[in-house]
Amino acid sequence: MSDIRADMTGREGTGDAGFRDYVQLLKPRVMSLVVFTAMVGLLVAPVRPHPVEALAAIIFIALGAGASGALNMWWDADIDRVMRRTAGRPVPSGSVAPGEALGLGLALSGISVVMLGLAANWLAAGLLAFTIFFYAVVYTMWLKRSTPQNIVIGGASGAFPPMIGWVAATGHISLEAVLMFMVIFMWTPPHFWALALFMNDDYTKARVPMLTVTHGRKVTRAHILVYTVALVPVAVGAAFTSIGGPIYLAVSLVLNALFLIGAWRIWRRPEEAATADKYAVEKKFFALSLAYLFGHFAAFLVEATPWADALARHLGWGF
Amino acid sequence: MPLTQEHELHKRRWGRNLGLGLTLGAFIALVFGLTIAKVQQGSQMQGFDHTYRIEMDPDARIPGANR
């Protein structure tokens, strides 16, 4: 029957989505960031889990992130439909039914949490469950539509993966795990507000109370600078813990200097200049923010190698 | 229209079934690998295998025994 209906109506709304549609539902690009940060959290930990356990832990953390992405797409289908950036997502485009997105999100949430508990430990599984809850319920259902501080508080859900990776390896939360969490947590507001500066029309149309919509671009520019200034000591400070070192310090100093200069330029920029060059500086800052996060976590990973350890000893690094 | 005609829908369903099959296969392989890894590391497992053998439990205290 559905075949005939599909012939008549085309693909939209048939409920016969392709495999790729379901993969899109899990937000693969966000998942790749989760995989990377969780892997770094797990690999820089002082305890080395069995490689299969480590692989399984990363896969289930990523699956949990994907599950929360599916739940987000289920709940946000109405605003995704309005926004140009998200209109092509599986639910608003009609290739996946909302109920399917909800079902997949809930099923994968349960599977990922239970399997992480069995593969690693139940503290890591509990943190993953909390992350899914925080992203799907606290951020998506509550904060996103009610406060301009949505991405500040909601950013916590994106900051948990390296902490979960660390806990999966060690079984406990320590200062280093909190610092990795804090780097992403403090990085999220400038990253998203830079995006909001040049995608403001989307958020206005969808009535999402982003800071750019409720307080205007000038206030948002000031907030970007303030949060960037607050981020610097956290990111640089991580150099003086067991996961840092001289290589991380050098990378962090360069990236933070560039990030501060970018935030300063955004703050000083009049709106007319931004409109004239189609937000070139803001777009550049947004791209830099991705390199900033990747650079810091790559540096954490490098510091975990014996080669970096030897260099630190050679330099007399005492942290 | 002949009943055997291949529609775009059939290709999509085939792709979906193949993707699901491969995902389930990968999940089974992962659980199997995890089982092997856990069993290999389970040095104290024999103490609880079939019948509890107190002499193999490092946490158990046997009165009068030299441990």
Each domain of chain B, given as residue ranges in start order, spans: 32-60
pLDDT in tens, A12-33: 455 578 899 999 999 999 999 9
Check CB contact of A16 with chain B, cutoff 8 Å: yes
Check CB contact of B62 with chain A, cutoff 8 Å: no
User: What number is the ipTM of this complex?
Assistant: 0.81
pLDDT in tens, A168-186: 999 999 999 999 999 999 9
pLDDT at A8 over 50: no
pLDDT in tens, B37-59: 988 887 556 655 667 777 777 77
pLDDT at A298 over 80: yes
CATH of A19-173, one of 3.40.50.2300, 1.10.357.140, 3.40.50.2000, 3.30.70.260: 1.10.357.140
- What residues 58-97 of chain A have any CB closer than 8 A to a CB of chain B? 59
**Res A10: pLDDT:** 40
- Which residues in B lie closer than 8 A to residue A17 (C-beta atoms)? 12, 16
pLDDT in tens, A101-126: 999 999 999 999 999 999 999 999 99
Cα A93 to Cα A3, A9, A24, A44, A73: the distances in Å are 19, 14, 12, 41, 11
Instruction: Tell me which residue in B7, B34, B41 faces A3 most closely, judged by beta carbons.
Output: B7
The domains of chain A are located at: 19-173, 174-319
Q: Is A20 exposed, middle or buried (0-12, 13-18, 19+ CB in 10 A)?
A: middle
Check CB contact of B13 with chain A, cutoff 8 Å: yes
Gyration radius from chain A CA atoms: 21
Separation CA A193–CA A199 (nearest Å): 9
Cβ-Cβ pairs closer than 8 A, A with B, add up to: 48
Rounded mean pLDDT of A300-306?
A: 94
**Res B2: pLDDT:** 62
Nearest-by-CA chain B residue for A6? B9
- Which residues in A lie closer than 8 A to residue B15 (C-beta atoms)? 18-20
**Res A21: pLDDT:** 92
Q: What is the DSSP code (8-state) at residue B45?
A: G
pLDDT in tens, A122-146: 999 999 999 999 999 999 999 999 9
* Interface test mutation site (partner A, options B9, B13, B17, max chain A beta carbons within 10 A): B9
